[in-house]
């Protein structure tokens, strides 16, 4: 049995499309384990933000802040930094 390979793929219109080249024979049967990768644009609910603050408290003290408003501002600044033109 071949070693398992890890590839990235997208799902669109009912079809899984690999993002990487696969070295497979046409018609080869596969067994897949699907793991959904969260989108970078995922919006957290107020409760999810509160839970995140609780989990992160102490490990990144001061980085995210201590309120939902603080974490909103932090996430916005991070998104803005990634979206700016270079």
Mind spelling out the 3-state secondary structure of 25-67? CCCCCCCCCCCCCCCCCCCCCHHHHHHHHHHHCCCCCCCCCCC
pTM over 0.75: no
16 by DSSP, 3-state: which?
strand
Taking the domains of the chain in order of start, what are their residue ranges? 46-83
Return the pLDDT at 40.
64
Q: How confident is the model at residue 29 (pLDDT cuts 50, 70, 90)?
A: very high
Q: Is 61 left (phi over 0), alpha (psi -120 to 50) or beta?
A: beta
Q: DSSP code of 46? A: H
**Cα 44 to Cα 66: distance, rounded to the nearest angstrom:** 16
Return the pLDDT at 64.
61
């Amino acid at each position: 049995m071949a070693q398992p390979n890890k590839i990235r793929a997208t799902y669109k219109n009912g079809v899984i499309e690999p993002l990487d080249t696969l070295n497979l024979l046409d018609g080869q049967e596969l067994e897949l384990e699907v793991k959904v990768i969260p989108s970078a644009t995922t919006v957290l609910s107020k409760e999810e933000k509160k839970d995140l603050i609780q989990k992160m408290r102490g490990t990144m003290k001061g980085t995210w802040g201590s309120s939902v408003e603080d974490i909103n501002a932090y996430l916005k600044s991070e998104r803005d930094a990634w979206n700016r033109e270079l």
